[in-house]
Structures are given as C-alpha cells and as structure tokens.
Amino acid sequence: MTDTTIAPAADLAVKGRPRGRRSPIGRGSKFGPVIVAPYVLFTIVFGLLPAAYAIYLAFTDGNGGFAPVANFSRVLGDFRFWPATLHVALYLVIWLVALLVLVVFLAIVIHAIAIRWVNSTLRFLFYLPGALAGASSVMLWLFVLDPGASPVGWLLRGMGFTSFQDVIQPGGLPIIFAIIAFWTGAGGWIVIMYGALNNISTEIMEAARIDGANRIQVALQIQLPLLRKWIAYMGVLSLGAGTQLFVEPSLLSQASNAVVPNDYSLNQLAYQYAFDLNDFNGSAAISVLLLIVSLVLSAVFVLRGGLFDTEEA
C-alpha cells in the first residue's frame, strides 16, 4: 500500500470530523467569562505585572533614571553569563528533544495496548513521579546519583563513577538535569497525549486499517498530524519551564560543596545579582533577556505547530 492511499483518511481526520452536540459551555455561553476570570486575574497579578516591573528595572538605573543599554551591557559582559547561557541551552535541547520524541512515542505505544489494566497501569506508573515537587524530586535524585547509596550504584560504578562528585561534574549536568526533568514531567504529558489520541475519530482509524495501513503508517500519517497542536503546546510550556532552571543546580551546589557552581544557570546568576550584589536592575536585565528568547522560541513552536489554526468544518 502506498502513502497516497492513506492521505484521504488523514485529510478527513483534520477536515471532516463529525459534528457532535455543542457543549453547554461553548460559544456564547454566559459561563465562559466566569470560568476564565480567575485565570485572567492571576495572570495579570502574577504574570504581566511582575514582567512589566522587570522591564522597568531593566531599562533604568539604581536611581530610577532611564538607562536603555547599561544594565544589558553589564550583564552581557559578565564572564559568568555566557557559560550559564550555554548550560541552559544544552539542557533545553536535550530535554525538549526527549520530550518531543519519547513522550509522543510512549503515548502512541500505550494507546495501542488493548489490555485495559496494562494500559491503565503504565499510565499511572509514568504519571506517578510527577506527584513529587521539584525540590523533593531533586532530593531523591541526590541518592540515585550517589554510587554508594543508589539502587543503580552498580551501573554508575560500571560507568567509571566512584563518588557523588564524579557523577555531578559540570560537563555532564545538562544530561542529568534533562533526565530529572523528564522523569518528573514526562508522565503528565504522556497522559495528555493519550487523551488527545482518544479524541481521534475511531471511524478514521478503522478506515485507514481497512485501506491496509499498519500501525506505523497509522501513527505517522494520522496520529502524528492530529497531535501537532498538542506537541506544540507541550513545547511552549516545557520551554518556559526549562529556561527557569534553578532548583536542581541550587540543591546540587549545596549538596556537592560547590562542585556545581552557584551561578550554573541564568536564573541562579540573576539571583546572585539581586541578593548578593544588590543589583536588581542587572537581575531584571537577565530576566528580560530570558523573556525575549523564550517568546521568540515559543513563537516558532506556535507557528510551526499551528497552535491557533482553526479547522475547517
């Protein structure tokens, strides 16, 4: 069977979804503003207003005078800034690639399992690590990464690591932080992707199978295109969270007696500016730079993923 025989089914999945009954909370519903209002309020108070204040600080000096480039020049000229940027960039690349590939793959594999109790158990096991808060998760990993206390200590020793300090050398930290982040957050996204897969019309799936499509062809030509918006959504939120890397290197720095530097990430460096150097303007400049990069990369995910595209009836 050629790819062209499956294409009509994929087009039908996108353009020809059967119309169901309209939800009571839908277009024109009087409950819409009530439901959205708390989110809008918290977004303004804890999102937009702090961002606006950070922008104000970034473009002013300590006396409130206008300083359009001084804070950014000082930060960009700091010898710690570019290494911290590289650390965060490497971590983001590893983590986002792992999310985009493994989360989607695992969700499709679990969705294909017909035995209900196996299906449910796997989803629960993947989701369970997400119940741990960020700091608690890192504390657990402090033991996992110690060859002398870890349940996989034999594996760490086999890889040539004899102590906790050997494992957490700065060169390998992007991979370690990506593993911790994936272990903590991937399960929730697997559940979300699984729910998105359940929304794909069974008629579309059956039509593809009748046409002779195997599981791989169904996944590549029907399921993946219909998951595109959810993948973009995952990318945007994960990117925003990833740029805020702080808890993991901070705890490892304390546990390792500064083997991991306390300015490893950009958020840590911003913290150093604000509370060690009392330079809130420089700290705000770092935050604004992070905001700009995050918005640009998020725009790429949104545009490439068609996150706000409307489907034709």
Segment 198-238, tens digit of pLDDT: 888 888 888 888 888 888 888 888 888 889 889 988 989 88
What is residue 134's predicted lDDT score, i.e. its pLDDT?
61
Confidence category of residue 20, pLDDT binned at 50, 70, 90: very low
Are 127 and 137 a contacting pair, CB within 8 Å?
no
User: What are the sequence ranges of the domains in the chain?
Assistant: 79-305
Compare 116 and 90 and report the one with higher pLDDT: 90
Question: Whole-angstrom Cα distance, residue 131 to residue 144?
Answer: 18
Q: At what angle do helices 104-112 and 173-198 cross, to 10 degrees?
A: 40
Can you give the pTM of this predicted structure? 0.80
Residue 133 has a pLDDT of 60
Instruction: State the chain's mean pLDDT as an integer.
Output: 84
Please give the distance of CA 216 from its chain centroid, rounded to a whole number: 26
Average pLDDT on 243-253 reads 88
Query: Distance between CA atoms of 195 and 86, rounded to whole angstroms?
Result: 35
The answer on pLDDT for 21 being more than 80 is no
pLDDT above 50 (res 266): yes
Higher pLDDT, 294 or 10: 294
Measure the CA–CA gap between 28 and 22, rounded to whole angstroms.
Answer: 11
pLDDT band at 62 (very low <50, low <70, confident <90, very high): confident
Per-residue confidence (pLDDT) for residue 280, from 0 to 100:
94
Look at the block and give the residue holding tokens 């991991």. 260
Does position 285 have pLDDT exceeding 50, yes or no? yes
What would the mean pLDDT of 28-48 be, rounded to a whole number?
86
Between 13 and 84, whose confidence is greater?
84
CATH number of this structure's domain 79-305: 1.10.3720.10
Closest CA to 205 of 195, 196, 214: 214
Distance in angstroms (rounded) separating the CA atoms of residues 43 and 152: 42
Q: Which of 133-142, 145-154, 267-276 has the lowest mean pLDDT?
A: 133-142
Rg (CA), the chain: 23
